[in-house]
């Protein structure tokens, strides 16, 4: 089991969701974050104040998957989020110690696999 | 001209002048109100750009109006377009505008606010994708070659006015003019890249409601001032501006209930606009009772079109055609049936024994949309030869606030690094500007 963390452009979040759906990945959380990953700073001016905006808006996907789903999830994130410009984001894959589904008490593989209601 | 010929004797009237000074300010406020209304209906990343299109019109259209637009609309000229007598406001003085008892200087200002608002209305068709610079060029040319011509037709001694077409406060130049121009603009500029692929939702319904409320408030000056006096036509128009939009709201509530079981806020904001638009051409010509009927029926074509349009490929983004084009057309035709000499002192409609009136109203309802559409189409195609109309796809994704203005509507300041003035990074900034 892995936790796949994908950091993507906000405007590509819908494309990622669509790609994940096509890859049969059904469980994920997303959050709006700000970050900096080496892209060029934007310059903004408010009256006499000029600032470089060092942080860009991003969306973070957190997706816990069983091992066979790791690569399809990564592929879906890449397919949905890539524009080819600097700032497309990153994917981190980290090992998962335990997963528990709160409602049923299912653990690990049982918990990352979607179940009917 | 909306009002009766009050004074040809060359005297201005203090009461009329006082009211028209206030009415002019009321109408000017409608343009930032429209900016707020439109800003609420777009995504958060395009808030400022959308608002700035209205602010842009306040600048460039006013200048164009003073330099040439006013003359082309309100100098006698020929049946199609006015002359050049008033170019750069030459001869526009404290003398009364013929047919009114207010100074021509004030008349020019009052009419300027109409032109500004109408130019800003068209922006609703192209928000979230059009380059700001191209929009300014477009809106300047549009105010001269489309708005001024249409205003001349019905108010400046043009062919429709000569034949007796009635248009109290702008069904032809303002409402059908903006609506069908918006249709053409959406056709030329084409759809947003995400249109039909993603849900593109209004980001702040409160802005939309507040903007619509302020527009209604300003509309009392818009319609109430279009009699150019404090006389009966103005009082009638003022009252009808209260009654008709209220009826549109009620009908819209019912339509919302029938369709989805709930009354929506964005729908209500839209209904206020549609009602004000519907009564605009007819405001000083129909009885209060008929104005209420007009408010009610004006809701129907606009509501139907707003439901249907998003299923097409036409990204006429903020439904200017539905809210202004169709509601304005409804109002113009309505005059042909329900105008009442005993209320307006000018003419009867079909119901009161003068079917010819309907003919001239119908002609206006064909000619104005056709001219607005073709004129706008040609202007945008010509601009396109010189400069791109749209931002790049990347800028569209990033949002036009940052891409076009270098500002954000909801800046948090997190991660903002102050650039000290003496820093020698001007060149670097130019590169870094995406």
Comparing B224-233, B320-329, B421-430, which segment has the lowest mean pLDDT? B421-430
DSSP-derived 3-state class of residue A30: strand
Six-digit token pair at A83? 């524009």
Distance CA(B21)–CA(B90), nearest Å, equals 21
Q: How confident is the model at residue B56 (pLDDT cuts 50, 70, 90)?
A: very high
Chain B within 8 Å of A34 (Cβ-Cβ)? yes
Question: Residue A49's pLDDT is what?
Answer: 84
Question: Residue B433's pLDDT is what?
Answer: 54
Interface of B with A (CB under 8 A): 194, 197-198, 394, 397-398, 402, 406-408, 411, 414-419, 421, 429, 431-434
Among B324, B349, B371, smallest CA distance to B118 is for B324
DSSP-derived 3-state class of residue A64: strand
Question: Residue B29's pLDDT is what?
Answer: 98
Decide if pLDDT at B353 tops 80. Answer: yes
Decide if pLDDT at B427 tops 80. Answer: no
Q: What is the DSSP letter of A56?
A: E
Q: How confident is the model at residue B429 (pLDDT cuts 50, 70, 90)?
A: low
Distance CA(B137)–CA(B388), nearest Å, equals 12
Total structural domains in chain B? 1
Distance CA(B219)–CA(B241), nearest Å, equals 7
Do the domain assignments include residue B84? yes
Six-digit token pair at A33? 């974050």
Partner-chain residue, chosen from A11, A12, A52, that has the shortest CB–CB distance to B417: A52
Higher pLDDT, A34 or B372: B372
Question: Residue B3's pLDDT is what?
Answer: 46
At A1-44, the pLDDT tens digits run 999 999 999 989 999 999 999 999 989 999 999 998 877 778 88
Mutation for testing the A interface, residue in B391, B398, B430 having most A CBs under 10 Å: B398
At B68-79, the pLDDT tens digits run 999 999 999 999
CA distance readout (Å), A68 to A5, A25, A72, A74, B292: 16, 11, 8, 11, 66
Chain B within 8 Å of A54 (Cβ-Cβ)? yes
Chain B within 8 Å of A31 (Cβ-Cβ)? no
Mean pLDDT of all residues in B76-100? 96
Domain that holds residue B136: 24-236+350-393
DSSP-derived 3-state class of residue B41: helix
Distance CA(B84)–CA(B142), nearest Å, equals 18
Mean pLDDT of chain B: 94
Which of the four CATH numbers 3.30.70.120, 3.40.50.300, 3.30.70.980, 3.30.413.10 does domain A2-112 have?
3.30.70.120
Decide if pLDDT at B192 tops 60. Answer: yes
Among B318, B313, B1, B298, smallest CA distance to B130 is for B318
Distance CA(B356)–CA(B349), nearest Å, equals 8
Question: Residue B1's pLDDT is what?
Answer: 46
Six-digit token pair at B90? 């030459």
Q: Which residues of B touch A34 (CB under 8 A)?
A: 414-415
Q: How confident is the model at residue A50 (pLDDT cuts 50, 70, 90)?
A: confident
Question: Residue A117's pLDDT is what?
Answer: 42
Q: Around Cβ B257, how many Cβ atoms within 10 Å?
A: 12
Specify the CATH number for the domain of residue B219.
Answer: 1.10.3430.10
Six-digit token pair at B80? 């199609």
Instruction: Give the ipTM of the model, two decimals please.
Output: 0.77
How does DSSP assign B106-131, residue by residue? HHHHHHHHHHHHHHHHHGGGTTTTB-
Q: Do A83 and B397 touch (CB under 8 A)?
A: yes
Contact between B296 and B310 under an 8 Å Cβ cutoff? The reply is: no
Q: Around Cβ A49, how many Cβ atoms within 10 Å?
A: 11
Q: Do A51 and B417 touch (CB under 8 A)?
A: yes
Question: Residue A9's pLDDT is what?
Answer: 93
Higher pLDDT, B136 or A84: B136
In A, minimum Cα distance to B405 occurs at A44
Q: Do B417 and A46 touch (CB under 8 A)?
A: no
Å between A13 CA and nearest CA of chain B: 11
Contact between B373 and B183 under an 8 Å Cβ cutoff? The reply is: yes
CB neighbour burial string for A50-73, b if at least 16 within 10 angstroms, e if fewer: bbbbebbbbbbbebbbbeebbebb
Contact between B174 and B280 under an 8 Å Cβ cutoff? The reply is: yes
Å between A14 CA and nearest CA of chain B: 7
In B, minimum Cα distance to A17 occurs at B198
Calculate ∠ Cα B224-B228-B231, nearest 5°.
75
Q: How confident is the model at residue B312 (pLDDT cuts 50, 70, 90)?
A: very high
Calculate ∠ Cα B163-B296-B256, nearest 5°.
140
Do the domain assignments include residue B247? no
Decide if pLDDT at B425 tops 60. Answer: no
Chain B within 8 Å of A38 (Cβ-Cβ)? no
Q: In chain A, what are the domain boundaries?
A: 2-112
Q: Do A43 and B432 touch (CB under 8 A)?
A: yes
Question: Residue B176's pLDDT is what?
Answer: 98
Do the domain assignments include residue B403? no
**Which residues are CB-contacts of A10 (< 8 A; sequence separation ≥ 6)?**
A32, A57, A58, A59
Q: How confident is the model at residue A54 (pLDDT cuts 50, 70, 90)?
A: confident
Distance CA(B364)–CA(B377), nearest Å, equals 20
Q: How confident is the model at residue A60 (pLDDT cuts 50, 70, 90)?
A: very high
Distance CA(A5)–CA(B418), nearest Å, equals 32
At A63-105, the pLDDT tens digits run 999 999 999 999 999 999 999 988 899 999 999 999 999 999 9
């Amino acid at each position: 089991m892995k936790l796949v963390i994908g950091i993507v452009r906000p405007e590509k979040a819908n494309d990622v969701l669509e790609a994940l759906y096509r890859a049969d990945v059904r469980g994920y959380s997303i959050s709006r974050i700000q970050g900096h990953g080496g892209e060029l700073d934007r310059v903004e001016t408010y009256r006499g104040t000029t600032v470089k905006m060092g942080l860009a808006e991003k969306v973070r996907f957190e997706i816990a998957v069983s091992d066979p789903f790791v690569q399809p999830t990564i592929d879906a994130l890449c397919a949905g989020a890539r524009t080819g410009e600097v700032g497309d984001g990153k994917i981190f894959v980290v090992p998962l110690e335990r997963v528990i589904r709160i409602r049923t008490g299912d653990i690990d593989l049982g918990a990352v696999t979607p179940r009917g209601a | 001209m909306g009002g009766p010929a009050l004074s040809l004797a060359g005297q201005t009237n203090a009461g009329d002048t006082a009211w028209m000074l206030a009415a002019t300010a009321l109408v000017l406020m409608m343009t930032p109100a429209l900016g707020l209304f439109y800003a609420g209906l777009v995504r958060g990343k395009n808030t400022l750009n959308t608002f700035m299109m209205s602010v842009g019109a306040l600048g460039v259209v006013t200048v164009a109006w003073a330099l040439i637009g006013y003359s082309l609309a309100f100098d006698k000229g020929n049946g199609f377009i006015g002359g050049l007598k008033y170019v750069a406001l030459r001869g526009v003085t404290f003398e009364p505008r013929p047919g009114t008892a207010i100074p021509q200087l004030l008349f020019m200002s009052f009419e300027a606010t109409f032109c500004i608002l109408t130019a800003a209305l068209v922006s609703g068709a192209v928000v979230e994708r059009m380059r700001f610079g191209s929009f300014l060029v477009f809106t300047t040319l549009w105010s001269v070659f489309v708005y001024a011509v249409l205003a001349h037709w019905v108010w400046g001694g043009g062919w429709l006015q000569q034949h007796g077409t009635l248009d109290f406060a702008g069904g032809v130049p303002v409402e059908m003019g903006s609506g069908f121009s918006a249709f053409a603009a959406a056709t030329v500029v084409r759809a947003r890249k995400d249109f039909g692929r993603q849900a593109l939702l209004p980001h702040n319904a409160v802005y939309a409601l507040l903007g619509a409320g302020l527009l209604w408030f300003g509309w009392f000056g818009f319609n109430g001032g279009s009699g150019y006096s404090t006389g009966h036509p103005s009082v009638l128009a003022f009252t009808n501006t209260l009654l008709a939009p209220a009826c549109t709201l009620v009908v819209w509530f019912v339509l919302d209930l029938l369709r989805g079981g709930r009354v929506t806020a964005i729908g209500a904001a839209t209904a206020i606009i549609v009602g004000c638009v519907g009564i605009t051409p007819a405001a000083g010509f129909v009885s209060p009772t008929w104005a209420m009927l007009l408010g009610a029926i004006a809701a129907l074509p606009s509501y139907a079109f707003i439901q249907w349009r998003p299923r097409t490929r036409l990204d006429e983004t903020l439904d200017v055609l539905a809210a202004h084009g169709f509601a304005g057309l409804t109002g113009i035709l309505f005059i042909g049936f329900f105008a009442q000499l005993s209320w307006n002192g000018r003419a009867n409609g079909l119901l009161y024994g003068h079917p010819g009136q309907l003919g001239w109203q119908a002609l206006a309802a064909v000619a104005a949309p056709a001219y607005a559409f073709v004129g706008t189409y040609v202007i945008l195609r010509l601009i396109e030869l010189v400069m791109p109309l749209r931002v790049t796809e990347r800028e569209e994704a990033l949002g036009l606030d940052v891409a076009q203005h270098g500002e954000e509507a909801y800046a948090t300041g997190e991660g903002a690094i102050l650039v000290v003035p003496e820093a020698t990074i001007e060149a670097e900034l130019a590169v870094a500007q995406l």
